[in-house]
Amino acid sequence: MIPENKSDLVRDLHRVWHPCSQHKDYETTPPLLVERAKGIYLFDRQGNRYMDVIASWWVNLFGHNHPRLNSALTQQLKKMAHVMFAGITHQPAIDLADSLVRLSPVGLDKVFFSDNGSTAVEVALKMSLQYWQEKGENQKIRYAYLKGGYHGETLGALSVCGLDIFRKKFEKVLADHLPVQGPDCFRCPYGLQRETCNAECFEPMEKALSDNSDTLAGVIIEPLVQGAAGMKMYPPVYLIKLQSACESLGIHMIFDEIAVAFGRTGSLFVCGEHDLRPTFLCLSKGITSGYLPLAATLTSDEIYSAFYGKHQKLFIHSHSYSANPLACAVANETLSLLTENQFLNTLQPKIAALKECGKQFDGLNGEFRQIGMISAFELVKKNKECFSSEKRVGYHIFLEGLKRGLFMRPLGDVVYFIPPLIITEAEIATMLNTAHECMNAVLNH
Cα–Cα separations (whole angstroms), residue 153 to 174, 212, 385, 390: 11, 26, 28, 25
Query: For residues 433 and 53, what is the distance between their CA atoms, to the nearest angstrom?
Result: 13
pLDDT score for 241: 98
Give 364's contacts (C-beta < 8 A, 6+ positions apart).
377, 379, 436, 439, 440, 443
Q: Which residues are within 8 A (CB) of 331 and not within 5 positions of it... i.e. 6 or more apart?
A: 92, 96, 287, 288, 294
pLDDT confidence of residue 179: 98
Q: Percent of the chain scored above 70 by pLDDT?
A: 99
pLDDT at position 4 over 70? no
As a whole number, the mean pLDDT across the chain is 96
CB neighbour burial string for 234-270, b if at least 16 within 10 angstroms, e if fewer? bbbebbbbbbebbeeeebbbbbbbbbbbbbbbbbbbb
Span 317-371, pLDDT tens digits:
998 999 999 999 999 999 999 999 999 999 999 999 999 999 999 989 999 999 9
Using pLDDT thresholds of 50, 70 and 90, give the confidence band for residue 1.
Answer: very low
At 182-237, the pLDDT tens digits run 999 999 999 999 999 999 999 999 999 999 999 999 999 999 999 999 999 999 99
Superfamily assignment of 32-65+343-443 in CATH?
A: Aspartate Aminotransferase, domain 1 (3.90.1150.10)
Q: Which residues pair with 281 in a beta bridge?
A: 255, 298
CA-wise closest residue to 188 among 233, 139, 130, 242 = 233
Residue 150 has pLDDT above 70, yes or no: yes
| Contact yes or no for 269/257 (Cβ under 8 A) | yes
pLDDT of residue 312: 81
Under 8 Å between Cβ of 401 and 48: no
Report the pLDDT value the prediction gives residue 445, as an integer from 0 to 100: 75
* Nearest by Cα to 242 from 191, 183, 298: 183
pLDDT digits (tens, 9 = 90+) for 28-76: 999 999 999 999 999 999 999 999 999 999 999 999 999 999 999 999 9
- Supply the pLDDT for residue 5: 56
CATH number of 70-339: 3.40.640.10
| pLDDT for res 262 | 98
Hey, where are the domains in the chain?
A: 32-65+343-443, 70-339
Q: How many CA within 13 A on the CB side of residue 37? A: 23
Averaged pLDDT for residues 294-299: 98
Secondary structure class of 367 (helix, strand, coil): strand
What pTM did the predictor assign? Answer: 0.96
Decide: 161 and 167 in contact? Cβ < 8 Å: yes
- Listing DSSP states for 162-229 in one string gives --HHHHGGGGGGS---EEE----GGG-TT---TTT---GGGHHHHHHHHHHTTTEEEEEE-SSEETTT
